[in-house]
A and B are shown apart, each in its own frame.
Chain A
Amino acid sequence: MVFPFKRDNPVMERPRPPIDLEVPAHLETATFAVG
């Protein structure tokens, strides 16, 4: 069986960036278009 990605490929085993784990629970949304 051939795996598409080697397990020793460091690019394929990256953890989530730290800042992604710090996202505040309460966010508001804004929608715009600038043409």
Chain B
Amino acid sequence: MEGVWRTRVGYAGGTKNDPTYRSMGDHTECFQVDFDPAEVSYEDLLELFWTAHDPTRPAFKAQYASLVLAHDDEQLETAKASAERLAVLLKRPIATRIDRFDRFWMAEDYHQKYYLRSDRKLFSEMRAAYAKDEDFVASTAAAKINGYLYGSGSCVQLDEDLPGLGLSPEAGEHLRSHCRRR
């Protein structure tokens, strides 16, 4: 998504210290995005969030809850107002929990950029550009490639992005062919 520069996955919304995938406690599996408000608004992100899942379905456990954690008062009010409008539109209550952000616990490395890690050719090339795994996880290029591998974005958009992704011609063509096969 244009305006989203970094992504990461982790655990938040609960109280347990040092949660892990195997011992998450009362946390929820979350994703975080760092976005440029000059390019994309929080409202835009919320719209995508609502359409990416069914927010009217109550979670059967905290791990899989629908959740918005607001980082400031403005996000909190925007999210609440957005949820109220959606409830009116759908004529159903929204099960999404909207709360203040407290703390985000990074998920284990093998969860970060999951689709990119699953593609040996692209992962080996991308990972080689970073001395530390945390730098790879924070990479905008890695976030974009991971998104394309997941199925987001169009092939036209990929062609526009490719020069900035720093891939070799072979790896770029590998990603393009992946996009064309969808």
B57–A30 CB distance below 8 A: no
CB of B64 within 8 A of chain A? yes
Query: Which size bracket describes the interface of A in this complex?
Result: 20 to 34
Number of interface residues of B (CB under 8 A): 50
CB of A34 within 8 A of chain B? yes
B12–A31 CB distance below 8 A: yes
What sequence of 0s and 1s flags, for each residue 103-141 of chain B, a beta carbon within 8 Å of any chain A beta carbon? 010000000000000000000111011100000000111
Residues in chain B near residue A23, CB distance under 8 A: 5-6, 140
CB of B81 within 8 A of chain A? no
Q: Which of B9-31 contact A (CB under 8 A)?
A: 12-13, 28-31
CB of B150 within 8 A of chain A? no
Chain A nearest CB from B124 CB (Å) reads 6
Residues in chain A near residue B128, CB distance under 8 A: 11-14
What sequence of 0s and 1s flags, for each residue 10-35 of chain A, a beta carbon within 8 Å of any chain B beta carbon? 11111111111011101111111111
Chain A nearest CB from B115 CB (Å) reads 16
Chain B nearest CB from A33 CB (Å) reads 4
Report how far A22 CA is from B8 CA in the complex, Å.
19
Residues in chain A near residue B53, CB distance under 8 A: 34-35
B129–A15 CB distance below 8 A: yes
- Number of inter-chain CB pairs below 8 Å: 114
A32–B30 CB distance below 8 A: yes
A31–B69 CB distance below 8 A: yes
Residues in chain B near residue A33, CB distance under 8 A: 12-13, 28-31, 64-67
A16–B166 CB distance below 8 A: yes
CB of B34 within 8 A of chain A? yes
Binding site for A on B (CB under 8 A): 5-6, 12-13, 28-38, 42, 45, 49, 52-54, 57, 59, 64-69, 71, 75, 101, 104, 124-126, 128-130, 139-141, 144, 161, 163-168
